[in-house]
Amino acid sequence: MAVHSKDLPQQINSVLDAVHTRKSSAPRPLPAVALVGFIAIFVGRYLSNKQAKAKKAEAAASKVSSEGSSSVLESLEAKVLSPKKTTRAIKHTSPETFERNRKFFPPSKVAAAGSSASSAKSSVKVGVNKEFFRQIEAIFKILIPKLHCKETFILVLHTTFLVLRTYLSVVVARLDGDIVKDLIAGNGKGFIRGLGYWFAIALPATYTNSMIRYLQSKLSIAFRTRLTRYVHDLYLNDQITYYKALNLDDRIQGVDQYITTDVAKFCDSLAGLYSNLGKPLLDTIIFNYQLMRSIGVSGMGGLFVSYVVTAFLLRMVTPAFGKLAAVEAKLEGDFRSAHTRLITNAEEVAFYNGAELEHSILTRTYKRLIRHINSIYKIRIAYNMFEDFIIKYCWSAVGLTLCALPVFFPALGGVDSVKDIANGDKVVGARTKGFITSKRLMMSLADAGGRMMYSYKEMSELAGSTLRVYNLISVLHQLQAGQYEGVDLKTANSAASSEDGSGDEKELYSLSDIRGRIEYGYEGIRFVGVPIVTPSPGNANGGEELVRGLNVDVRPGDHMLVTGPNGVGKTGFARLVSGLWPVFRGELARPNPKDIFYIPQRAYLSIGSLRDQVIYPHSHADMIKAGRTDEELMTILKHVHLAYIPDREGGWDTVKEWKDVFSGGEKQRMNMARLFYHKPKFAILDECTSAVSSDVEGLMYNHAKDVGITLITISHRPALFKYHLHLLKLTGDHGHWEFSTIGTAEERQSLEKEMASLQAKLDEVEDLKKRHAEIQKELEVGLNAGPVDGTKVQKRGLF
């Protein structure tokens, strides 16, 4: 039998009617109420248990804090010595996990906003494209590392409530249609019953909406916690990635902005997108099925065409919100960095009276940010007008037209409208019920479609946040592995040769061409052909060579003084030994990290108690585990002449902003106290006693030598010569250096010459005194004679 095309909708409707096995289309809200009640009891039980555990832990912590300092020490010692009684410690990311995830984070094909010109090599735009989904997939390996984790549980629970809300929406739509039908038909009993159902379903519906918002916030926090912990483990580790990101690489400008603001914004957007996109997709599927039963296949065809046309039009007119969001985040970081810079250097700015200039800098930075934000708002005016016109008005007109199909063309109606008439309902009541149900479903469907269209804009903005977070993780992975972004050596060498004028190629040092080698565990510090080079990320001419081919071997007991003019690489010596700067050429042998200690030129005081300042970078738990006591710390403070500090500041447990409490000399002596606490085999001191009196300085140097610490001091003061055996002089003359032993014949001859020069100057003192007396006498004679014009003259000496 031939099938006519005009009979196809009726046949599809009959198939749907056969599949739909329900005997009645009347709403059944009681199962929905029971289902929501069961889920609410389960979730409430879980949350109450979790809250009870948190309150119990908080009560235990407050009990410990109220027992005094002695009980705190005992409890800390018990926690250290009995791990079974401790709370679960934070599990750091393993190096194997970093190694496994590194392959998923190659350099991005999209240049981040504000990145260096050397990194902006790709023409791929920021937006919802293949690169965006690849980046999201890579980040998800961090957010959800395994199937059985907290994030998976929250996602499943969140999805359950999203499905439940869609189901309740369908029940409410049918219930609304029945209530209006009974109202028009004058069925008072049915109307009262419908109102009862309406209030019965209100409680689970409101609970479901609240839980969706709650779980969305929990999902965002879980994502942020997982991502922040991963970034912190990657950023703060033994590879000093934090220093490399700030000083040896220019691909990330303002790391604090990335870690604090961008990660939080990304997690909030991602969690919101799942709710704002997942729920509309589910609503679209279910509501389309329900509408197909009301308006038929022909109406659904028209609805599908409206979907396609709307998506095409919005995609054509949607601006590059991803790129705009990335630029806005970068400008926000610049404005924040300007304020941070002013806070850090407030005293220096005040001395120079630079408030007016700093004010102009802040104003200029803020204006750049506001100018960009205003441009975004202007772009959104036309876009929002077009979007609202399409989604609200065009879709409403299309929805009303499709809802009217069963009224004007009953043959095109769905199975539900036909069934209502067949069940004996009045035509007006059946049409009213069908229209109200279809209208509510159509409104819900239009809302779902509108949210999907809005979600595309949110995805575009998410692409900007995703790019910044991805670039952060990618660069940190590369820096942890010792991979830097360097210059093209062939191009740089040819450019250097042409500038030099000679045909010889100049040695260039690029971070992408590190050939030096570091050996750990050596009983001393040895340089073999090692140049001291200032790293210059992004500089086409490479790093600047300060010292050429250094060859020095410092063994235990060989105290050495490094001296020379400013800017010749004295501090670079310490940075090479500590691993802050790369060894471009040659070989460097050094002790293990625990056997060497560094005291930088700028004294650093951490956040914490007075005890924490002495034992830094150890914690109080580390101190107790090592068997160290406060009495030992007091002995150390006596050696640096700071024994009065605990009584003055209120004890070891006092917590203050110590950088504002200590004077310059106290800060430097506190750093020396850390040296005596850790007692390493070697210590590199970089101008760390410049604010200390010479007598206390001598006592500290002698004590360090008495406890067996080999000192390598970076200074230009001759007063420190007597505490060292060797002298490394960096001349600054094309990287030349001189190494000598203090006390040799040459050194004695130099000292004798200096003493003879000083003696000659002392011999001239008597002659200068006689001349001073003669001048003074002549002045007194002139004053006694009096002025010619009768004015008074103040008597004063020449000196």
- Do 294 and 406 form a contact (C-beta atoms < 8 A)? yes
| Assigned superfamily of 90-480 | ABC transporter type 1, transmembrane domain (1.20.1560.10)
Torsion angle defined by CA atoms of residues 610, 614, 615 and 619, in that order, rounded to the nearest 10 degrees: 20
Classify 506 in phi/psi space as left (phi over 0), alpha (psi -120 to 50) or beta: beta
How does pLDDT run across 501-529, given as a tens digit for each residue? 544 456 788 888 888 999 999 999 999 99
* C-alpha triplet 710, 714, 715: angle, nearest 5°: 125
Segment 655-663 mean pLDDT:
89
* Mean pLDDT estimate for the chain: 76
pTM: predicted TM-score of the whole model, two decimal places: 0.70
Highest mean pLDDT among 109-123, 744-758, 778-792 belongs to 744-758
Burial 590-611 (b: 16+ CB within 10 A, else e): bbeeebbbbbbeebebeebbbb
In order of 201, 509, 562, 630, 754, the CA distances from 565 in angstroms are: 82, 23, 11, 41, 20
| Model pLDDT, residue 590 | 94
List the 560-563 sheet strands across, edge first: 596-599, 682-686, 710-714, 560-563, 726-730, 737-741
Please report, rounded to a whole number, the percentage of residues in the chain having pLDDT higher than 70: 69
Contact between residue 719 and residue 741 where contact means Cβ atoms under 8 Å apart: no
Which of 203, 153, 201, 154 has the alpha carbon at shortest distance from 178? 201
Tokens 């934070």 found at: 90
Nearest 5°: CA angle at 236, between 230 and 237? 100
Q: What is the pLDDT of residues 696-712, one digit of tens each?
A: 999 999 999 999 999 99
Domain ranges (residues) in the chain: 90-480, 517-749, 759-799
User: Which CATH number applies to 517-749: 3.40.50.300, 3.90.550.10, 3.40.50.720, 3.30.200.20?
Assistant: 3.40.50.300
DSSP H helical ranges for 568-685:
570-578, 610-615, 620-625, 630-639, 645-649, 658-661, 664-678
Question: Alpha helices of 236-320 — where are they, by DSSP H?
Answer: 241-243, 255-257, 263-317
User: By three-state DSSP, how is residue 294 classified?
Assistant: helix
Token pair of 490, please? 């062939």
Tell me how far CA of residue 796 lies from CA of 294, 495, 777, 793, 799, in angstroms. 113, 67, 12, 9, 9
With bands split at pLDDT 50, 70 and 90, how would you rate the model's confidence at 76? very low
Of 543, 573, 554, give the one whose Cα is nearest residue 687: 573
pLDDT per position as a tens digit, 270-317 = 888 887 777 777 767 766 666 666 555 666 666 667 767 777 777 777
pLDDT tens track for 138-176: 999 999 988 888 888 888 888 888 888 877 877 777 777
Secondary structure (DSSP) of 539-573: -TT--EEEEEEEEEEE-TT--EEEE-STTSSHHHH
Task: Kindly compute the dihedral angle of the four CA atoms of residues 562, 567, 573, 575, in this order, to the nearest 10 degrees.
Answer: 140
Mean pLDDT for the stretch of residues 376-390: 81
pLDDT at 757 over 90: no
pLDDT band at 12 (very low <50, low <70, confident <90, very high): very low
Residue 435 to residues 24, 294, 413, 619, Cα–Cα distance (Å): 18, 9, 11, 71
pLDDT of residue 550: 93
Is 700:709 a contact under the CB 8 Å cutoff?
Answer: no
